[in-house]
Structure 1
Amino acid sequence: MNKIPVLEQCTVSYQEDKHFLADRLEIYLGKNNNLVFPHRHNFYQMVLFLSGGGKHEIDFREYQISRGQVYFMGPGQVHTWMFEDNITGFIVNFDIDYFKSLLLQPDYIENLNLFSTLQTGVFDLDEVVVREVTSLLHQLIDLNTQAVGIDVKRSLLLYILLKLDQAYRPSHSNKTIDYHMVLIKNFKSLVDQHYKALHLPKEYAELLFVTPNHLNSVCKEYLGQQAGEVIRNRILLEAKRLLILPDWTVSQVAYELNFNDNSYFTKFFKKIVGMTPEEFRRSQWKQN
């Protein structure tokens, strides 16, 4: 059965360094005009839009493109774009381990708000930040044409990421942020690993050494959802990812997600989405 294609960095990088790419977005699009959509990446991607229109989707959430909009996407997320007019901007791709030998904390990058699964990685910059980041990205692109070491590029990219992380405005409050945010991050990480097998909040609460009530209250405060909703939404996301594949039947999707039968999966899906899996599939195919 076909799966959503996973693009590796080396397949889209036309520059000498196959673990890192920084370029003007319009040049990148011209050199990668045969991209298959939707697709996933096995690398991190950042895009800053300067002009043009259209929309892009990350895990079935749609965003209208505007000047100053920036998005950050981590490995594994499903992505597509539909550009209009003459799109301009910047794009940066880098491998998961790009900063591994530079940083003492290997997971430092994935813990930035920009790539956190707790937040959406799409937001708007004010014009002052747009101009500042644009200048820095020009410098980063220029480094690819110079005989400089990898640490110079990594250091400048890290500075840009930190600058943008400062500009990011999370929706949650800062009170007791350390403990609660770590708890939610660990919870969502466990859900990503076990959503097919573990469906109940109490099962995750046991793994996290907290009570189900505490897990629910923290999720409600910081995510606006009960823990059970987080689990169901993760199952639903994977269902949507599989349903858009033409070679997968609804029964196969239900089996892949450990539903006992097709009818139970259909009821689960329709209750949340408002349409059956087949209706969702047809609506997605019609859009594409």
Structure 2
Amino acid sequence: MDFPVDHLPGSLQVVQLQDFVAGAAAERGARSPHRHDYHELLWTRAGAGRHSVDGEPFEIEPGTITVIGRGRVHVLERAVGFTGAVVRFESELVLDAPAWLVGGHGALTVEVPPSSAPSLETTIGILGAEAARPADSQSADLLRHFLSALLLWIERWYDGAHAERGDDADVALYRRFVALLERSFAEHHDAGWYADALAVPAAALSRALSTVTGQPTKQLVTDRVMLEAARLLRFTDRTVGEIAYRTGFEDQLYFSRAFKRRYGVAPRSYRDLHRHPSNA
């Protein structure tokens, strides 16, 4: 069985919710399982409920923010008096440093320090206002940087909560892999190179990454390379040949074929479909 897929009307969307009721607590009942073709942050200021991501249950608790990565199977089973916000965004807006947060399997819930909640809500409000206004030459950069601030705060709060007990071993290895990948994806497309650089057997690395993300090493490397290509097509005026070179391909035709396998359309068609208004 395949699942319905939700898409965004733009590159980022903010939905503010007040005393929201959904799922089993609503008359229409819970929505059937579906996927999101975008990442999602769920900020809960107040209320309670329960949802599942990739079949794993998560309680909705006040004072938390939940990160749900693109492609996860999601069901909002129940929500009562939910007050907060939902931030939805495409992969192309995610800057490099906190990228590991949206790549994991299932969902990640982090407790927000009470003293940080006002800054969090202000930044979410700024993002919503920026996404709602007509795009100009600064729009894409502003969205990326405010979103990056949100993700970096989440990373800080996550690290603070795990400072004493440390990460799970697979998560710790995944974070090391992502840091290396961000520095090296354009020069190294081979999964074995990453295993050697991390001093981990290739099978062990792929197994750990699959446990955390649901994808093996090679797929994660390919996805990161193609994500960079998509960003450059969407937000810059570089030629397809230049983008192929910058992402580590010597043969433009081979690059175009690889890009089409990932996104379903050729690079030029992707640019025509998704070019950001600030670069039109």
Scaled by the length of structure 2, the TM-score of the pair is 0.53
Q: Secondary structure at the match of 2:93?
A: coil
Root mean square deviation of aligned Cα: 4.4
Instruction: Tell me how many residue pairs correspond in the alignment.
Output: 191
- Corresponding position of 1:112: 99
Task: Give, in angstroms, the shift of residue 67 of structure 1.
Answer: 0.8
- The residue type paired with residue 92 of structure 1 is V
Looking at structure 1, the residues matched to 178 and 135 of structure 2 have their Cα atoms a distance apart, in angstroms, of 41
Residue 145 (structure 2) pairs with residue 155 (structure 1): yes
Q: CA 1:19–1:35 in structure 2 vs 1: closer, same or farther (change >3 Å)?
A: farther
Normalized per residue, the structure richer in strand is 2
Task: Give, in angstroms, the shift of residue 180 of structure 1.
Answer: 7.8
Higher Cα radius of gyration: 1
Q: CA 1:214–1:123 in structure 2 vs 1: closer, same or farther (change >3 Å)?
A: same
Residue 115 (structure 2) pairs with residue 128 (structure 1): yes
Unaligned runs of 5+ in 2: 23-27, 182-189, 216-280
Looking at structure 2, the residues matched to 146 and 114 of structure 1 have their Cα atoms a distance apart, in angstroms, of 28
- Corresponding position of 1:143: 130
| Structure 2 residue corresponding to 1:93, chosen from 88, 95, 111 | 88
Q: CA 1:67–1:129 in structure 2 vs 1: closer, same or farther (change >3 Å)?
A: same
Counterparts of 1:207-246 in structure 2 under 5 Å? 214-215=200-201, 227=207
- The residue type paired with residue 76 of structure 1 is G
Q: Deviations for 1:194-236, whole angstroms, at most 9, x for unmatched residues?
A: xxxxxxxxxx9968655xx9449977xxxxxx948956x959x
Scaled by the length of structure 1, the TM-score of the pair is 0.52
Q: Deviations for 1:84-142, whole angstroms, at most 9, x for unmatched residues?
A: 3221111111122235xxx6xxxx26x53422427952121121122220122122223
Identity %: 17
Looking at structure 2, the residues matched to 19 and 166 of structure 1 have their Cα atoms a distance apart, in angstroms, of 25
Looking at structure 2, the residues matched to 228 and 143 of structure 1 have their Cα atoms a distance apart, in angstroms, of 38
- The residue type paired with residue 6 of structure 1 is V
- Corresponding position of 2:7: 8
Q: CA 1:4–1:207 in structure 2 vs 1: closer, same or farther (change >3 Å)?
A: farther
- The residue type paired with residue 144 of structure 2 is R
Residue 155 (structure 2) pairs with residue 168 (structure 1): no
Residue 70 (structure 2) pairs with residue 78 (structure 1): no
Looking at structure 1, the residues matched to 33 and 112 of structure 2 have their Cα atoms a distance apart, in angstroms, of 26
Q: Deviations for 1:129-158, whole angstroms, at most 9, x for unmatched residues?
A: 222201221222233454563233332222
Looking at structure 1, the residues matched to 123 and 208 of structure 2 have their Cα atoms a distance apart, in angstroms, of 43
- Corresponding position of 1:24: 16
Unaligned runs of 5+ in 1: 11-17, 187-203, 220-225, 236-288
Preserved CA contact (<8 Å) 2:66 2:109: yes
